[in-house]
Structure 1
């Protein structure tokens, strides 16, 4: 799946207790047997491919050509392949047509390492009077730059000058194809996101964390084991850190990771993968001292979480379909400043080090058939610590056709996860 982070100024994330609206508790969602998963994924792929002719017409190209060899796949290949394909074979060539003539197919695929590939390809191009051929050779956008240099040279060599002159680069063809999420995917995306929340909820609890003993590295590896136990996988190593006035994303060596203590404010960056879909979530947790309850969480922490939630609302409200990421960033920043607040295929709305706009990626339009990750952070002064801290938050959103607005895929954190003190002095560490 395609996941594109939406960042903001030093805005910071926070986490919530796992219940977004009081009683809703995330549950682990069991995956289907692999054979059934493959059938679902292949049906989604067929549906996505059926939209390719309209996509090519939208960007005014006659054809779209991809060529790759095993171990050197085009970026788009992973969205084209069947669920039982694990790599390209020999030379794998795909051609799609915007205007197939008569009853001819709009999609062609060759898996061969003989000259017949190129002669047959030329015959199809001739038969359909193709005048422009999109190739994935963009210089800036990774989703449309997967054509390897040697393979492009081979295409030019085999097709000859006539067809070389018809090759064009239209980055949005690859971007929009990868980014397009067909309706049937949403139900499973909900399930994946709920599972991610459930893992975070258990990880950030006394079932896993014993203050004074458990390290942040213990928790991140527990999360990895839990993912595997559930037959999911992930697309990045979970990150768990103790928040302070510093940067939680500094990738400290394992030896420098701290033991979790009472009163710590914890942060995680976490995602799961299944059925070709990825999630991405950042949450926070508070470690209660013995004798403390939720009512004892420092007011400064609660204020930081509320501020981050407000920033989420501002960014989400400014995510207008068709608007570029840079325009959304500019509008959101103006909105934030007026309120006195601090500040994967598709557009990028700012980055932590590029708060006034992002070249190229920030100029892409926001699409309504894509899942986006709203990733931001907020600075907030914590009176109890006499220092300004960063609060991080990240949640995935989808376009809701019924309400005509962006909705959270499963929810957004509005309360801290809580690591509660032991009962009768005894911790009960929960296994997998």
Structure 2
């Protein structure tokens, strides 16, 4: 009697005892075992993320953790996707030029670029209908190796990827018709010539979240390249007024997107409820006029602003009547400009301060400006003293969370003046950082 002569239920019970290696061998052997193996995969492994870092001359095929598969062998990747690809929801594909194999005396292996491209091809063949999230890292012209659309993909991410001019004109909206979140991040400063994002110049019917971050646009050699990039961004905003979340960090030390460009497209961004911007002196040049323009967002509820300014602070010319969360980065000291912004937005319930070197903070003025503030979180170099907080503690009537760094090592007795009216807290003393978290 062969195993295939058994009922599907009996086969499933037998396969349930197999290791993943043996389950994969069973799944690839014939259709009946494949169907039974897919049921076992769905029960045991479907929630795992799939990562593919294809390397040549590697003895280890893959490893598995509690929440992910990581494949190194192209052959094993093909077998896995061929058998279980229709159940894979999330996949990460990375190109690794050189890799040190753990446990093999630091032997370095050269990766063949073509192997990574073939991995993309396999994912496109066997996961085009099942994938909801796909992430590419350090791959050039990733979209070039896709023959069919990922019809149900919702989250698309590119990290340190490059695109040649030819591929840029293959608009992403055709390959990913239902994408809801698009992330384009270039963190590697050694990346070759940056692209002009021509491929996002289209209508994405379902796009809700767009994140673009790059520190490589200062490599543009001609003003025309900046103009092309700017034009592509403007077109993308104009064709996608349904955007709910925008994270744009292109500005520092280059001239890609300035305040007058925001004013040009602001009417198309009125559905945003979350906005994150990085601005520098160039961005603020238009704000030097005697009556700087006010940038109003009708539905904005969350606003993160990274101010990389070489001079004194400037007035924050963004506003919304529904602002709930405000996060401020990079300000060296709190001036009237920052306090005035808070006073104009009494709807804020969550305030986050990062990256400054503040010595003093007018807590009384913050409490008066934000009567319904529930969370105040202060990070990085901004340090407070407990004795500075105590006189103003009762003024924060709605506050439920305070997180800050103290200037010295904290003891239990130090917190006693703050542990009143239902407050309780804890502290963490680590090298150079003494964090206090208070809740009620």
Question: Rg larger in 1 or in 2?
Answer: 2
Tell me the TM-score normalised to structure 1 length.
0.21
Larger RCO, structures 1/2 (Cα 8 Å, 6+ apart): 1
Q: Which structure shows the bigger proportion of residues in strand conformation? A: 2
